[in-house]
Chains A and B, each alone.
Chain A
């Protein structure tokens, strides 16, 4: 997001056909945002770590437990059937949200991390052998590194890492060189949780498929910021977490093409994932239930459904436009601040970015930045953001990160910039 003249960072012109967000109305949907912190309004900018929950999500979850709750896929009685219908209805909601072909392609998990581990354990352990290669990128979250290291250790496969440039842009030509006939999978972030970089996943999918590799996308930082259509992206696996898209913790999604899921063995055994069981032999249920052993997070799944309905009603395009405006405005204001006080730098300057702003203030540790901002009620993340190899690549131990959500405002960006100015004043080099 480039702004030629920061002084004229006017609100972005509304995208034709997109109803802009009524931000004050939106903010009223989130009860938590009404509170004050040490006498100042809460400014929640840690949305890449987790997001706050709208009333619709709270009501869906509370309402389920108060009025219509039973275990799913088991009971004959009416309330069990209604709970099952609601639970399975969310599968259809997710299918529509991701543009998937069939609702059987939607597997509910505990979150992105579990979704990736499911693929690593089930697909990885059954498909990979010594000499095979898995390709990831330098900007991955630990959740998209460690499961692959584990499966490599178990199968004798090798992990390759595609580099980024100093702006945080994936080097596509270098990635191309690492794609070999032995590359079985490319696993990468759709959007970087540190740099905000929106990766050219469609191009990567084409390149990967040319050598016969599958593509897994970590969508944990993408689905809340931009429209996702898995068929259009051409990927094979897509993963995301409910809690980063205004839903509850403990729930996530794995989408995979049906023929892949059909061929994949279960990764956990238990109730609900079987067709028939004798002591001699068990027939597994078809996907998606094959991968959902045990009682699922019923209430959480209903919360996820309500969150996706909420996002869909506001319009992901409207959210995207709003966050693009915040990012442009914040980048311009921080640029101004840097000109004035020096040493305030944005880490990650890819031309295509989602609303994630990693900051490096020269000579000031991010934890000091976060503590000073916290005193003004401003919540930012400070640390390595579960991406230590990326920090190492960037020559940093940590950054401070402000990540925008649909409820953030330009006034909150102003509060952030004022806070950063205070940091600079306190910690003179």
Chain B
């Protein structure tokens, strides 16, 4: 990880430029807000959950390239998954961004394109940018309607 392109891979830049599933989600039944007061990053994740499965997801907000790309990739990764699968992925992703050891090869398939964000480990100040969307998703599933902050936990 010696080059900046390891952090800002083309896929990241692309998802930042053209975030997927960006906007309002009609018919959403779960929602949460994420706030990183240190950066001024704010986003909202909206979900439609039917019979334990995420049938729709969208996000809105503003943030840096890392947080926007992470949110965009997340929406692609969890749509169609069950709530349990999404929660499991949340934990895998958190480990991917924060653990020193390489991810368990068995999980790589699940992580898919999200692996492109692994470079953020080298930038401890930026890990919160990458995890904000995931924490917000987790909150929307666990405590819908609330706001999660990188600085104070759920409020």
Residue of A with least CB distance to B123: A371
Q: Find residues 4-51 in chain B having any chain A CB closer than 8 Å to their own CB.
A: 4, 7-8, 13, 16-17, 38-41
Interface size class of A (residues with CB under 8 A): 10 to 19
A398 at the interface (CB under 8 A from B): yes
Are A428 and B64 in touch, CB under 8 angstroms? Answer: no
Complex formed: what's the CA distance from A429 to B64 in Å? 14
Given A368-B64, A383-B40, A384-B40, A427 contacting B16 (CB threshold 8 A)? yes
Complex formed: what's the CA distance from A366 to B16 in Å? 14
Complex formed: what's the CA distance from A383 to B123 in Å? 16
Of B4, B16, B17, which one neighbours A375 at CB under 8 angstroms? B4
Are B123 and A365 in touch, CB under 8 angstroms? Answer: no
Are B39 and A372 in touch, CB under 8 angstroms? Answer: no
Main secondary structure of the interface of B (DSSP, over half): mixed
A421 at the interface (CB under 8 A from B): no
Query: Per-residue 0/1 for B126-137: is the Cβ within 8 Å of any A Cβ (1 yes, 0 no)?
Result: 100100000000
Residue of A with least CB distance to B64: A365
Residue of A with least CB distance to B2: A38
Given A383-B38, A398-B39, A365 contacting B63 (CB threshold 8 A)? yes
Complex formed: what's the CA distance from A368 to B17 in Å? 13
Are B4 and A372 in touch, CB under 8 angstroms? Answer: yes
Of A367, A375, A384, A391, which one neighbours B64 at CB under 8 angstroms? A367
* B150 CB, min distance to chain A CBs, angstroms: 13
Are B13 and A427 in touch, CB under 8 angstroms? Answer: yes
Residue of A with least CB distance to B7: A371
Given A372-B4, A375-B4, A427-B65, A367 contacting B16 (CB threshold 8 A)? no
Query: With a CB–CB cut-off of 8 A, which chain B residues contact A397?
Result: 39-40, 62
Query: Per-residue 0/1 for A352-374: is the Cβ within 8 Å of any B Cβ (1 yes, 0 no)?
Result: 00000000000011111001100
Residues of B in contact (CB 8 Å), total: 20
Complex formed: what's the CA distance from A200 to B63 in Å? 36
Query: With a CB–CB cut-off of 8 A, which chain A residues contact B39?
Result: 365, 367, 383, 397-398
* A152 CB, min distance to chain B CBs, angstroms: 23
Are A368 and B40 in touch, CB under 8 angstroms? Answer: no
* B45 CB, min distance to chain A CBs, angstroms: 19
Q: Find residues 238-285 in chain A having any chain B CB closer than 8 Å to their own CB.
A: none
A7 at the interface (CB under 8 A from B): no
Query: With a CB–CB cut-off of 8 A, which chain B residues contact A368?
Result: 8, 64-66
Of B4, B16, B40, which one neighbours A398 at CB under 8 angstroms? B40
Residue of A with least CB distance to B4: A375
Q: Find residues 329-380 in chain A having any chain B CB closer than 8 Å to their own CB.
A: 364-368, 371-372, 375
Residue of B with least CB distance to A426: B8
Are B38 and A365 in touch, CB under 8 angstroms? Answer: no
Query: With a CB–CB cut-off of 8 A, which chain A residues contact B126?
Result: 367, 371
Query: With a CB–CB cut-off of 8 A, which chain A residues contact B129?
Result: 367
* B134 CB, min distance to chain A CBs, angstroms: 18
Complex formed: what's the CA distance from A397 to B40 in Å? 6
* A297 CB, min distance to chain B CBs, angstroms: 28
* A16 CB, min distance to chain B CBs, angstroms: 46
Complex formed: what's the CA distance from A397 to B36 in Å? 11
* B100 CB, min distance to chain A CBs, angstroms: 20
Complex formed: what's the CA distance from A384 to B41 in Å? 11
Query: With a CB–CB cut-off of 8 A, which chain B residues contact A428?
Result: 17
Query: With a CB–CB cut-off of 8 A, which chain B residues contact A383?
Result: 38-40
Complex formed: what's the CA distance from A383 to B64 in Å? 11
Query: With a CB–CB cut-off of 8 A, which chain B residues contact A365?
Result: 39, 41, 63-65
Query: With a CB–CB cut-off of 8 A, which chain A residues contact B13?
Result: 426-427
Complex formed: what's the CA distance from A310 to B64 in Å? 40
Complex formed: what's the CA distance from A374 to B17 in Å? 22
Query: With a CB–CB cut-off of 8 A, which chain B residues contact A366?
Result: 64
* A415 CB, min distance to chain B CBs, angstroms: 15
Query: With a CB–CB cut-off of 8 A, which chain A residues contact B17?
Result: 428-429
Residues of B that sit less than 8 Å from A by CB:
2, 4, 7-8, 13, 16-17, 38-41, 62-66, 123, 125-126, 129
Q: Please provide the 4 A-B residue pairs with the shortest distance between their CB atoms, ordered closest to farther.
A: A397-B40, A365-B64, A367-B64, A375-B4
What 20 new A-B contacts, CB under 8 Å, besides A371-B123, A397-B40, A426-B4?
A38-B2, A364-B65, A365-B41, A365-B64, A365-B65, A366-B64, A367-B64, A367-B125, A367-B126, A368-B8, A368-B66, A371-B4, A371-B126, A375-B4, A383-B38, A384-B40, A391-B40, A397-B62, A426-B8, A427-B65
Chain A to chain B contacts (Cβ below 8 Å), 19 pairs: A365-B65, A367-B64, A367-B129, A368-B8, A368-B65, A368-B66, A371-B4, A371-B7, A371-B123, A372-B4, A383-B39, A383-B40, A391-B40, A398-B40, A426-B4, A426-B8, A426-B13, A427-B16, A428-B17
